[in-house]
Structure 1
Amino acid sequence: MSADTPEKKITKPTTRRRTPPHVKSLRGVKNWKQVSEWLEWRDIEDIECITPDQAGVARGKMMPSKKFTSNTSLALPSAVFMTTISGDYPEDGHGFAYPENDGDLKLVPDLSTLCIVPWETDPTAQVICDLVNQNGKNVEYTPRNVLRSVVAAYHKRGLKPVVAPEIEFYLVKKNPDPDYPLTPPVGRSGRAIGGGQGYSIAGVNEFDELIDDIYHFSEAQGLEIDTLIHEEGAAQLEINLRHGDPVELADQVFMFKRTIREAALKHDMYATFMAKPIQGQPGSAMHIHQSIVDKKTGRNIFSNEDGSESDHFLHFIGGMQKHVPNALVMFAPYVNSYRRLTPDASAPVNVKWGYDNRTTAFRVPRSEPGSRRVENRIPSSDANPYLALAASLACGLIGIINQIKPDEPVATSVNRNEIELPRGLIEAVELFENDKELQKFLGESFVTTYAAIKRAEFETFMEVISPWEREYLLLNV
Structure 2
Amino acid sequence: MSDWTDLIPQAARNYIAGRRLDEVECIVADIAGVARGKAMPASKFVHQDRFFLPNSIFLQSITGEWVDNPMGAFTEPDMILTPDWSTATAAPWTADVTLQIIHNVEDQQGNPVPTAPRNLLKRILALYEAEGWKPVIAPEMEFFLVARNLDPNQPIIPPMGRSGRRAAGKQAYSMSAVDEYGKVIDDIYDFAEAQGFEIDGILQEGGAGQVEINLAHGDAVHLADQIFFFKRQIREAALRHDCFATFMAKPIEGEPGSAMHIHQSVVDVKTGENIFSEADGSESIQFMYAIAGLQNHLPAVIALLAPYVNSYRRYVPDFAAPINLEWGRDNRTTGLRVPISEPAGRRIENRLAGMDCNPYLGLAASLACVYLGLKEQKMPRPECIGDAYMNETDLPYNLGDALDLFSDSAPVREVLGVEFCTVYEAVKRNEYKEFLQVISPWEREHLLLNV
Q: TM-score, normalised by structure 2?
A: 0.97
Pairing 1:189-200 to 2, within 5 Å after superposition: 189-200=163-174
Deviation at 1:214, TM superposition (A): 0.4
Checking the alignment, whether the CA contact within 8 Å between 2:300 and 2:406 is kept in structure 1 is: yes
Checking the alignment, whether the CA contact within 8 Å between 1:343 and 1:419 is kept in structure 2 is: no
Instruction: State the SS of the aligned residue for 2:390.
Output: coil
- The letter of the residue matching 1:66 is S
- In our comparison, the structure showing a higher alpha carbon Rg is 1
Checking the alignment, whether the CA contact within 8 Å between 2:26 and 2:39 is kept in structure 1 is: yes
Give me the identity figure in percent. 51
1:216 aligns with 2:178: no
Aligned to 1:26: 11
Deviation digits for residues 403-458 of structure 1 (CA, Å, limit 9, x no counterpart) = 02101111211113211110000110011011111112211111000000110000
> Residues 372 and 83 (structure 1 numbering): CA distance in 2 closer, same or farther, change over 3 Å?
same
Deviation at 1:22, TM superposition (A): 6.8
Aligned to 2:50: 73
Instruction: State the SS of the aligned residue for 1:286.
Output: coil
Deviation at 1:27, TM superposition (A): 4.3
1:88 aligns with 2:65: yes
Checking the alignment, whether the CA contact within 8 Å between 1:115 and 1:222 is kept in structure 2 is: yes
Paired with 1:290 and 1:396, the residues of 2 have a C-alpha distance of 9
Checking the alignment, whether the CA contact within 8 Å between 1:185 and 1:269 is kept in structure 2 is: yes
Aligned to 1:384: 358
The RMSD of aligned alpha carbons is 1.6
**Structure 2 counterpart of 1:51, from 19, 28, 37:** 28
Aligned to 1:240: 214
Instruction: State the SS of the aligned residue for 1:61.
Output: strand
> Residues 108 and 72 (structure 1 numbering): CA distance in 2 closer, same or farther, change over 3 Å?
closer
Aligned to 1:177: 151
**Structure 1 counterpart of 2:424, from 422, 443, 450:** 450
Paired with 1:38 and 1:194, the residues of 2 have a C-alpha distance of 37
- The letter of the residue matching 1:73 is R
- The letter of the residue matching 1:113 is T
> Residues 139 and 466 (structure 1 numbering): CA distance in 2 closer, same or farther, change over 3 Å?
same
Paired with 2:8 and 2:295, the residues of 1 have a C-alpha distance of 47
> Residues 23 and 429 (structure 1 numbering): CA distance in 2 closer, same or farther, change over 3 Å?
closer
Deviation at 1:195, TM superposition (A): 0.5
Checking the alignment, whether the CA contact within 8 Å between 2:105 and 2:116 is kept in structure 1 is: yes
Deviation at 1:42, TM superposition (A): 3.4
- The letter of the residue matching 1:337 is S
Checking the alignment, whether the CA contact within 8 Å between 2:12 and 2:99 is kept in structure 1 is: no
Pairing 1:350-361 to 2, within 5 Å after superposition: 350-361=324-335
Deviation digits for residues 351-410 of structure 1 (CA, Å, limit 9, x no counterpart) = 100000111110000111111000000001000000000000000110000102101111
Aligned to 1:374: 348
Size of the alignment, in residue pairs?
447
Q: TM-score, normalised by structure 1?
A: 0.91
Deviates more, 1:228-237 or 1:405-414: 405-414
> Residues 371 and 101 (structure 1 numbering): CA distance in 2 closer, same or farther, change over 3 Å?
same
Checking the alignment, whether the CA contact within 8 Å between 1:250 and 1:385 is kept in structure 2 is: yes
